[in-house]
Amino acid sequence: MPEHSYGDPAAVNALRSSVMRLARRLKHQRVDESLSPTEMSVLDTLARCGSATPGELARREHVQPPSMTRIVALLEAKGLVRMEPHPEDRRQKVVTPTEQAESMLEESRRRRNAWLAALVEGLDDEERAALRAAAPVLEKLAHL
């Protein structure tokens, strides 16, 4: 699709750039620096969507199944996930986050929320209102 069909190219470029920059800065506010962004993303997906097979996780994370197998093995070795028998297909396993992973994710969310709240405090009332209005739109874009 041509770029002009999305509206103002400068506005789209500014949105892309600022969202990416903010996301990068948020990634640095994590609890466990030994985990890769992909490992954190897999744990977050499990926390949001529930237990899943490695194949389901690979599709959700847009990685190849062999890569997901390696990621899951690393997370299991770190005690962050456990492999359980699939309830319907004995040939498959289901990946489930451990309490340690859930606790780490909660602390990570707390830290990121506190960091972001501190930034928002630096905005004026009008900017905070604009941010509140934009949040549902950004959420929608994130899930399209």
The residue extents of the domains of the chain are 3-142
Give residue-wise pLDDT tens across range 19-37. Answer: 999 988 888 887 777 888 8
pLDDT of residue 3: 46
What is the dotted CATH code of the domain comprising 3-142? 1.10.10.10
Give residue-wise pLDDT tens across range 45-81. Answer: 999 999 999 999 999 999 999 999 999 999 999 999 9
Exposed e or buried b per residue across 45-79, where buried means at least 16 C-beta atoms within 10 angstroms of its C-beta? bbeeeebbbbebbbebbebeeeebeebbebbeebe
